[in-house]
Amino acid sequence: MSSAEGGDLVARVEGSAGIIRLNRPKAINAVTLEMFRDIDKALDRFEADPAVSVILLEGAGERGLCAGGDIRTLWESSKVNGDLGKILWREEYILNARIKKFPKPYVAFMDGIVMGGGVGLSAHASHRVVTDRTKLAMPEVGLGFFPDVGGTYLLSHSPGEIGTYFGLTGQTMNGPDAIHARFADWVVPAVKLPELREALTKLGSGATAADVGQLINGFATGETAGPVAAKQRAIDALFGFDRMEDIFAALKRDGSDFAQAALKTLNEKSPRGMVVTLKLLRLARKSSSLEECLVREYRAALEVFRSDDFREGVRAAVIDKDRNPTWSPPRIEDVTPEMLAPYLAEIGADELKFN
């Protein structure tokens, strides 16, 4: 476990707070397998320490909490039929579930960019703080993937079809919209975070979840809805279908600027990724727990890891950066039930299991 300032993860006790700092500012704190393991060890330590009453997750640097998982390394493993996906996602998803059930208050400072794997470390926290700088997104469909790390659980519990919209388009939420979508709890101005951080370290060893909530509330603006929330009625009408073809048809019929912009965005995404995402979101609506969704996501993620769409999506967005992926199949109409089936199939001995 690294507690040195130079490590990719800093974990230390400050007063009554167990601090977990993602410490790769040049990579906007993109998370590696080793960092997930170090977070798990830190949580072991903080859970057992009676002096620690609250956990605080933060990101180093000015740009954001976390831009997601270390996607380049996954891409390299996928190209050679490696097993990094199987190992990393298993440990990451088990950690996501642990965060949701953690027995001590877990505060996430969701400042700046919060995407993908960063959402998994923060949006399952008991106390979720966004700011006036927050840019939160689940952009995985643009990589031939789907919103994982419990994203299907979170998005399916957003009001109406807001989660369907954010999951399929990968659009960015600001702080108030993250609260509306139920990804966060409070907006605190970024300039007040240092003061809130210090107050959290001084809460004392007997602090309860209610104490932490009351403290954060004193710093919060009270905002609960942003620009996308204002489009709720249109989003519910346009995205309230169980087939991608029907969503596309609704968007094409609707002449509004909003619908046309959404259509343009969806036309850039992986058709297979969209179909998989919509199916997982609809299944998640019927799921009672985060774990149930994570088991399903793990099955689908292993199938994604084997797919050309994932390698092509990452190539176009991260490796060559030409923003011009060639999806397989190229059209939504060409994604057959037979193509979808392996993403949902049980995987025997490889199933995700929780302690």
The set of catalytic residues is 69, 117, 140, 148
For residue 350, give every residue at least 6 positions away whose Cβ sits within 8 Å of its Cβ, in sequence order, or none. 86, 302
Select from 40, 38, 32, 17 the least CA-distant residue to 97.
40
